Amino acid sequence: MINTMGLHRLANPLQRRFARRYAAHAMLGCCLLTAACTGNAVRSGGVVRTPLLASDFPISAAVTVPSGYDTVFVSGALPPVINKDAPKGTVAAYGDTQTQTVGALTSIKATLARLGLGFGDVVKMTVFMVADPSKDNKLDFAGLMAGYTQFFGTADQPNKPARSAVQVAALVAPGALVEIEVIAAKPPAAAAH
């Protein structure tokens, strides 16, 4: 905030007028800069989600959690085995990247539900991905997004977390292509009632 209280101390009327005009322009500039930086930030409860600029990609550029919120760190979830007849430790046992993403997110959804939370409370997500042997040993990012967008940025659940996706050499479960961990935030118990 700019202090204009001491303007009367300036002896020269021209200096006072310049100082007033400078203060007004500075305040306007601060307001415009704040609006430009926040874009169309979406507030869900007290949490503020800042969208990516000029993009409809379904993640937030940043998520701001207010003081006093409880933070919940959910361990990484691997996909479940979907084909018990497939050789153990193969991609065929877990499915393709999309199937594995849906499986891991479904597991996370169940963990969040046990805590009284949902995907709308997720503020940060980290996705660990392994190259898919059936895709010329490249990441199947399209498969990740096909699974992810079933849960985030939908009409039923529009909240989008800040998210990172990184390639790793391998995951603890051979054949797994995806592991996902999330951080969720919820209002303090007193405010939730």
Phi/psi at 86 (5° precision) = -75, 155
pLDDT for the residue 139: 97
Tokens 């118990």 locate to: 189
CB 148 within 8 A of CB 72: no
How much is the pLDDT for 10?
56
- Please state the pTM of the whole predicted model: 0.77
pLDDT at residue number 41: 75
CB 112, CB 70: distance < 8 Å: no
Taken in order 102, 57, 186, 64, the sign of the CA dihedral is positive
Write down the pLDDT at residue 36. 40
Q: Specify the pLDDT at position 188.
A: 83
State how far the alpha carbon of 63 is from the alpha carbons of 46, 52, 74, 135, in Å: 11, 11, 17, 33
Digits of tens for pLDDT over the chain (193 positions)? Answer: 445 555 555 566 666 665 555 554 444 344 333 434 445 676 667 999 999 999 999 999 999 999 999 999 999 999 999 999 999 999 999 999 999 999 999 999 999 999 999 999 999 999 999 999 999 999 999 999 999 999 999 999 999 999 999 999 999 999 999 999 999 999 887 555 4
3-state secondary structure 45-58: CCEEEEECCCCCCC
46-188, CATH topology level: 60s Ribosomal Protein L30; Chain: A; (3.30.1330)
Q: What is the per-residue pLDDT for 31? A: 37
